[in-house]
A = this chain, B = another copy of it.
Amino acid sequence: MHQGQLTVAVLGPLGTYTHQAAYGRFGSSVQYHECGTITDVFNVVASQVAHAGVVPQENSTFGSVIETYDALRRENIGTICGEILLEVQHCLLVRRGVKREDIRYIKSHEQALGQCRDFLAQHFPSAALEKVGSTAAAAKAVSTSDDCAAICSKVCATVFSDLEIMFEGIQDRNNNYTRFYVVSAALDELPSPVPIPRQTRCLVRLSSAKGNRPSPIMQLLSALGMNIARLDRRPQLDTTLLFSNIYFAELERGELGDEPWMLEIQCALQRVQDSGGDAQLMGIW
């Protein structure tokens, strides 16, 4: 690997918003590797089957993407080296000829179902909501079904034959954006087509040191002493302590100084270690 054409892993099949976000960044010069789940995107990047990957991190309406943060709890899961912002306009797609009254199931990724809660409650209060791996996987499944509809992008109506658009712009809020992380295998192995401007963001994983009494989050954050743009919490599973937490702090650079930002971050991580916590740099971009 790392010779010839660049391979970028995305949540597949082609037609997902993740693929659109990746295409907007990498264009047609790279090869796209379709994964069935977000976790698989991380896996193929960490195992160097792909040079880079793109995963959804957060939606402006429905919030953080749980599967992404859960993958980031693991060791050797790769590193974040960039971000992409994409406006998301959902459509309801059905197989050509399926009528509104035929629809018993509505399939999509849990994020898309969550971003269209009001629409679904109003127009399809009795339809069953089926959670599938991606929006395009939903479209693909619906193309062979007589009683299903998929929430996905307009693009899927051209990617999969026999589909037609029943509703357009069905997200609960017009101002609906999804933010993606670009991931690569290791901090020093950024794929070259990713433009590296002066770094202004990084993601830090914070947890109580293993085996210790949990450190209060304020103690960890105070020791870190950095400007936090986003802070997310997930259960820490590699411990017998019930309701232990891992926090993910996305840091934002205040002023662009002369010193490399990395030095400042490394000092901050050391302060957390010294205070009895555990801090891990998950990426800088």
Q: Which of A195-243 contact B (CB under 8 A)?
A: 216-218, 221-222, 226-235, 237, 240, 242-243
Complex contact A231–B230 (CB within 8 A): no
Contact A175:B233 (CB < 8 A) given known A110-B110, A227-B218: no
- Asked if A247 CB lies within 8 Å of chain B CBs, one says yes
- Which residues of A, 163-181, contact B by the 8 Å Cβ criterion? 173, 175, 177, 179
Please provide the chain A residues from 231 to 270 with a CB less than 8 Å away from any CB of chain B in the complex.
Answer: 231-235, 237, 240, 242-243, 245, 247
Q: List, in ascending order, chain B residues with CB within 8 A of A179's CB.
A: 243
Residue of B whose beta carbon sits closest to that of A176: B242
Is A27 in the interface zone, CB < 8 Å from B?
no
From 38 to 78 in chain A, residues with beta carbon under 8 angstroms from any chain B beta carbon are: 58-64, 66
- 27 A-B pairs whose Cβ atoms sit less than 8 Å apart in the complex: A59-B235, A60-B242, A63-B66, A63-B233, A63-B234, A63-B235, A64-B233, A105-B130, A113-B131, A128-B130, A128-B132, A129-B130, A129-B132, A130-B131, A131-B131, A173-B237, A175-B240, A177-B242, A177-B243, A216-B227, A216-B229, A217-B228, A218-B226, A218-B228, A221-B221, A230-B245, A231-B231
CB distance from A4 to the nearest CB of B (A): 33
Closest 8 CB pairs of A and B: A129-B131, A130-B130, A131-B131, A63-B235, A218-B228, A60-B242, A128-B130, A217-B228
